[in-house]
Structure 1
Amino acid sequence: MSEANDSATALLPGEDALAAVRSGLIAWYEADHREYPWRETDDPYAILVSEIMSQQTQLGRVVSAWADFLDRWPTVEALADAPRGEVVSFWSSHSLGYNNRAKYLHEAATQIVTEYDGAFPETPDELQELMGVGPYTANAVASFAFNTGNAVVDTNVKRVLYRAFDVPDDDTVFEGVADELMPAGDSRVWNNAIMELGGVACEKTPRCDAAGCPWREWCHAYETGDFTAPDVPTQPSFEGSRRQFRGRVIETLGEYDELPLSKLGPRIRVDYGGDTGREWLEGLVSDLADDGLVERRERADETVVRLQS
């Protein structure tokens, strides 16, 4: 056994208690959990869409957007065939955050169709070959679609492990403990269950008794009353941010074939002008063009912009 595995094992209960920890969490999850439609499917395409949408977006907004997206592009082939500009415009109109995620999702769909004959890769390593799919998303899709994933380690899971088993705030140790804790071959139910525990019971303000946390018997924080946890990065304010105006550009261009900057500016902000005038807008559009989301062309003395086709 490696030194990392030795360290992880030392932080966990003994084998008999560990079996109870595992079975207790799975029973708690299966008895009652939040209902999300992507938890009711093992379709890797639908799960990939949900995972990409859920990145830094509240799940309440994702539910309706996910259903609308799949109504419009029900298969990976349909998404690959869609114009990229339409996909990006949909993303922006549903307030799903960074539009690059729509671009990458479209490119990943194209890869699956052209490089994999429409069949999804099934392991985390293979899934990471898709455009815009990082380790976390690859592992989530492998877990929930194919039951072939490793232990998921997100902010909620770190909080759970830190409190329950006094795991130090170290990513390598978190990953080692999470891997040792997960029952072999059960990544689908286990990863859903431990993320649910962090989402409804072991929140920043814990609800141990109210949520019936199944780990109270073994939990270090419950025993000591010390519910501190690793700091969670604060998401920058969206209102008035550059992200918000990037989204407004995409959404506005989705309504027109093209627009000159002089007409685009006033449509995305009522106070267009001065420090937030032509130079500011040109920088915004330049960034979007560099990301492959819009196209620019010069017409007479005016710059005209349209969505990337």
Structure 2
Amino acid sequence: MSDAESALPSDLDRNAVQTALVEWYEADHRDFPWRRTDDPYEILVSEVMSQQTQLGRVVDAWEAFLDEWPTVSDLAAADRADVVAFWTSHSLGYNNRAKYLHEAAQQVVEDHDGEYPQTPDGLSELMGVGPYTANAVASFAFNNGDAVVDTNVKRVLHRAFAVPDDDSVFETAASELMPEGKSRVWNNAIMELGGVACGKTPSCDESGCPWRQFCHAYETGDFTAPDVPTQPKFEGSRRQMRGRVVRILGEYDELGLDELGPRVRVDYGGENGREWLRGLVDDLATDGLVTVDDDEDEVRVSLAR
């Protein structure tokens, strides 16, 4: 791509920008344990756990998960109900992620002889692994990824180099900036910059941002950035109720609907009664998380095994 078509300022010294960021990152960064490994299994677990969960809360869950299932073969051989119960007990969000992580492990063992694919395209064929996660694992495990573009990276590029708020332009700018063959350190570094120095409220000087001398926002004082999607309200949400059902069923072999209902919500009855609960457990059954035994006398629900 020519400078005329570039998503970055034509006078930008890309080598200087790259060197400044990598040196800043390597001198000091947050020491998450998954940054000390290149094991694709361990990295995939961290990536799936980190989706919409604060990284500080992920550390304990990640270490406990790997204590329970140290290798991809261990996870593939595990009882899915145990994996889902672990996910729920550690408040890691959507239980489908646990199901998909388990299924992906089985794919790796059965279809790939226990070895993870090393490219974003290959990793994307695993259950529940989307383009972003596939690229992250390819980058951090195999140093073989493309430039990561997440909310933090968009914020950094928009502020630092006045990149327009357009997904395709962000992807072009990110790709132009990443040094060839350096996806592991680069993607870690630019996400660290967005997480530590260039958050919604920037801390440019306090964090020693390495891009201050290049940064449009730092020069102009205009730190606006693309909107960050807001998390849907969790309290009282269907997502919260699904999690409660799975957690409660983890404590019992099985329950009837009217035994389960009051344990899920104190206002069970009326519009939040049997019809509502049946719809909830049917959704969970469709996702492969619970089993619904519908006989003539009573509907019984248990965790899928």
TM-score by length of 1: 0.96
SS at match of 1:150: coil
Residue 274, structure 1, aligned to residue 276, structure 2: no
Pairs within 5 Å for 1:102-117:
102-117=98-113
Contact kept? 1:8, 1:173, Cα under 8 Å: no
**Alignment-derived partner of residue 242 in structure 2:** 246
Q: Deviations over 1:204-231 (max 9, x none)?
A: 1111111110000010011111100001
Amino acid at match of 1:90: F
1:292 to 269, 288, 294: 288
1:69 to 45, 49, 65: 65
1:131 to 119, 127, 132: 127
- Over 3 Å counting, the alpha-carbon distance change for 1:12 and 1:238 in structure 2 is farther
Residue 159, structure 1, aligned to residue 151, structure 2: no
Comparing 270-279 with 157-166, greater Cα deviation is found at: 270-279
Q: Deviations over 1:138-169 (max 9, x none)?
A: 00000000100110000000000000000000
Contact kept? 1:38, 1:50, Cα under 8 Å: yes
- Mapped to 2, the partners of 1:156 and 1:10 lie a distance apart of 17
Give the deviation of 1:84 after TM superposition.
Answer: 1.1
- Mapped to 2, the partners of 1:265 and 1:35 lie a distance apart of 43
Comparing 60-69 with 144-153, greater Cα deviation is found at: 60-69
SS at match of 1:229: coil
Give the deviation of 1:57 after TM superposition.
Answer: 1.1
**Alignment-derived partner of residue 212 in structure 1:** 208
Contact kept? 2:7, 2:163, Cα under 8 Å: no
Amino acid at match of 2:287: D
Comparing 77-86 with 109-118, greater Cα deviation is found at: 77-86
2:9 to 8, 11, 15: 11
Amino acid at match of 1:20: A
Contact kept? 1:73, 1:79, Cα under 8 Å: yes
**Alignment-derived partner of residue 142 in structure 1:** 138
Give the deviation of 1:188 after TM superposition.
Answer: 0.5
**Alignment-derived partner of residue 92 in structure 1:** 88
- Structure 2 residue runs of 5 or longer lacking an equivalent are none
Amino acid at match of 1:245: M
Pairs within 5 Å for 1:24-103:
24-103=20-99
- Over 3 Å counting, the alpha-carbon distance change for 1:262 and 1:197 in structure 2 is same
**Alignment-derived partner of residue 283 in structure 1:** 279
SS at match of 2:6: helix
Identity between Structure 1 and Structure 2 (%):
71
- Structure 1 residue runs of 5 or longer lacking an equivalent are none
- Mapped to 2, the partners of 1:64 and 1:271 lie a distance apart of 34
Give the deviation of 1:300 after TM superposition.
Answer: 4.2
- Over 3 Å counting, the alpha-carbon distance change for 1:109 and 1:6 in structure 2 is farther
Contact kept? 1:163, 1:219, Cα under 8 Å: yes
Q: Deviations over 1:11-31 (max 9, x none)?
A: 3644xx211110110111111
- Mapped to 2, the partners of 1:299 and 1:135 lie a distance apart of 42
Amino acid at match of 2:257: L
**Alignment-derived partner of residue 174 in structure 1:** 170
SS at match of 2:176: helix
Contact kept? 2:43, 2:137, Cα under 8 Å: yes
**Alignment-derived partner of residue 234 in structure 1:** 230
Give the deviation of 1:255 after TM superposition.
Answer: 1.3
Give the deviation of 1:298 after TM superposition.
Answer: 2.1
**Alignment-derived partner of residue 302 in structure 2:** 306
Give the deviation of 1:278 after TM superposition.
Answer: 1.2
- Mapped to 2, the partners of 1:276 and 1:243 lie a distance apart of 15
Comparing 129-138 with 82-91, greater Cα deviation is found at: 82-91
- Mapped to 1, the partners of 2:299 and 2:11 lie a distance apart of 65
Q: How many residues were matched structurally?
A: 305
Amino acid at match of 2:265: R
Amino acid at match of 2:72: V
RMSD of aligned Cα (Å): 1.3
Amino acid at match of 2:276: W
- Mapped to 1, the partners of 2:228 and 2:255 lie a distance apart of 41
